Amino acid sequence: MENYSPIFHYSPSPTISSAAAAYNSPMLLINNELQSHNKANTSNNGVLGLMSSVKLAAPTSDIVINSNHSQGRSNFVGTETHHEVKSDKKNTEKKIRKPKFAFQTRSQVDILDDGYRWRKYGQKAVKNNKFPRSYYRCTYQGCNVKKQVQRLSKDEEIVVTTYEGMHSHATEKSTDNFEHILSQMQIYTTSY
DNA sequence: CGTCTTTGACCCGCGC
DNA sequence: GCGCGGGTCAAAGACG
C-alpha cells in the first residue's frame, strides 16, 4: 500500500465546521480523489459514490450527528462514544474516557483520507464479518489518536471508520470538503 | 536507508 | 479457570 498522497487540492476555507470543531476531533475529508491505492478501480473522478450516502454509526453513542439530504441519499449520521481506557498499567486504575467518533461511509475504498498521517499497527479478523478491521495510529509526535477502519459484510460498500482520541495538532491538509458536508449536518446530542 | 505494512504472538477483559 | 474475541506489540519484509 502506498503512503498518503501529499497532493490535496481543497480550496482554502476560513472556518471549520462546528461539528468537527466541537469535538476537536479529526475531520473526515469526504473526498477520495486521493485514494491512490487501487482497491477498486478509481477510474472515475474519485467521488466513488461517497457523497451519495454517508453515514455515521457506533455501537454506543453519546452524540449523534444526523443529516438527511432532501434526496434522501446524503445520509450523514454520527456518533461519539466514550471508551474507557486505563491510564496506567499498575494500580492506578484511573479509567479515563476517550471520545470515540465513528463514521459510516459508503465507499469502495477502505481508507478515507482525513488529512492526518496514520500508521497501521494491526489488523484483526472480526467475527461475523468477512472483512478484517484495521487499526491505525496518528504518526504525529505526541498525538495518540487512533482509528479503526472496518467494512461491513452486510453491505460491502459501507466502511466504518472509528476515531478515538483527539488530535493535538492541526491537519496538514485543508478540510474543505468535509466542511461542506458538515455544513449540511445537524447535530443531535443524547445523553447516556 | 527510513518509513510503513504485514502478521503472528501476546495481553486483557468478559462470559460461561 | 478457560476459551473467545478484540486490541496491541514488534519483528520482518516491502517499498520508494
In the numeric block, which cell numbers belong to residue A57?
454509526
Specify the pLDDT at position A37.
Answer: 35
Q: CA of A146 and C1' of C12: distance in angstroms?
A: 24
Highest mean pLDDT among A3-17, A52-66, A133-147, A161-175: A133-147
Instruction: Give the amino acid at A164.
Output: E
Specify the pLDDT at position A49.
Answer: 31
Q: Nearest residue to C4, CA vs C1'?
A: A127
Chain mean pLDDT for chain A: 55
- The per-residue pLDDT for range A23-59, each reduced to its tens digit, is 443 333 333 333 333 333 333 333 333 333 344 443 3
**Which nucleotide lies nearest residue A122, CA to C1'?**
C8
Lowest mean pLDDT segment, chosen from A62-71, A86-95, A136-145: A62-71
- The per-residue pLDDT for range A79-133, each reduced to its tens digit, is 555 555 544 433 334 455 567 777 777 766 666 666 788 899 999 998 888 889 9
Q: CA of A139 and C1' of B1: distance in angstroms?
A: 19
Residues whose CB is below 7 A of strand C: A 2, 121-127, 133, 135, 146, 148
Specify the pLDDT at position A105.
Answer: 75
Lowest mean pLDDT segment, chosen from A60-74, A114-128, A154-168, A170-184: A60-74
Residues whose CB is below 7 A of strand B: A 1, 3, 86, 89, 117-124, 134, 139
